[in-house]
Amino acid sequence: MGTELTGAMVDVDDGTRLEWGFNPESFEDSDSTEFAKINIPGMSHPRIQFTGGGERTLSFVVPLHYSQTDVAQDIRTLRSWLYSEYSGGRLVKAPHRLLVQFGETWQGEKWVMENCAVSYRRFNKEGRPIMAEVSVTLVEYIETSKGIGEVRGG
């Protein structure tokens, strides 16, 4: 499951780094765009009108094993990236932005965590998790519009 190159997730806002002891087996990188479908009386098909870009998501499973990491702490760190910061009951900061560091595939792209689902696999005699798989879904955090040239690398 592991390879020489291991990846990590890094919190852009506070520098917290979570290195993977074992790499995810696969990544799903999904992008979309939005169109309005306008029905025109008498036409066989609706007109298609571009309305805006859709979200890009990145989904993968982080395998956690006690031989490589503190499983319970890594689960808490991953799950914490779903939450905002509050002070005195007031919102201070939205959930933190993240970087995915794995080879040269996702360089500099910022993400926010949309979903974090933990499958606990094994526990020690004290009931602490020693093996788990954490399924995460990230949504790309875009500050300005991105065009075809940036996507193609031009």
CATH number at residue 39: 2.40.30.200
Question: What pLDDT, in 10s, does the model give residues 99-146?
Answer: 999 888 887 899 999 999 999 999 999 999 999 999 999 999 998 888
pLDDT of residue 5: 66
Does residue 3 belong to any structural domain of this protein?
no
What's the pLDDT at 1? 42
2: in domain = no
* Structural domain boundaries, residue 101: 8-152
Which string of DSSP letters, residue by residue, matches the chain?
Answer: ---SS--EEEETTT--EEE-SS--S-EEEE--EEEEEE--TT-SS-EEEEEEE---EEEEEEEEETTTS-HHHHHHHHHHTT--EEETTEEEEPSPPEEEESTTTS-S-EEEEEEEEEEEEEE-TTS-EEEEEEEEEEEE--SS---HHHHHT-
Percent pLDDT > 90 in the chain is: 79
Domain contains 1 = no
Percent of the chain exceeding pLDDT 70 equals 96
The pTM of the full predicted model, rounded to 2 decimals, is 0.86
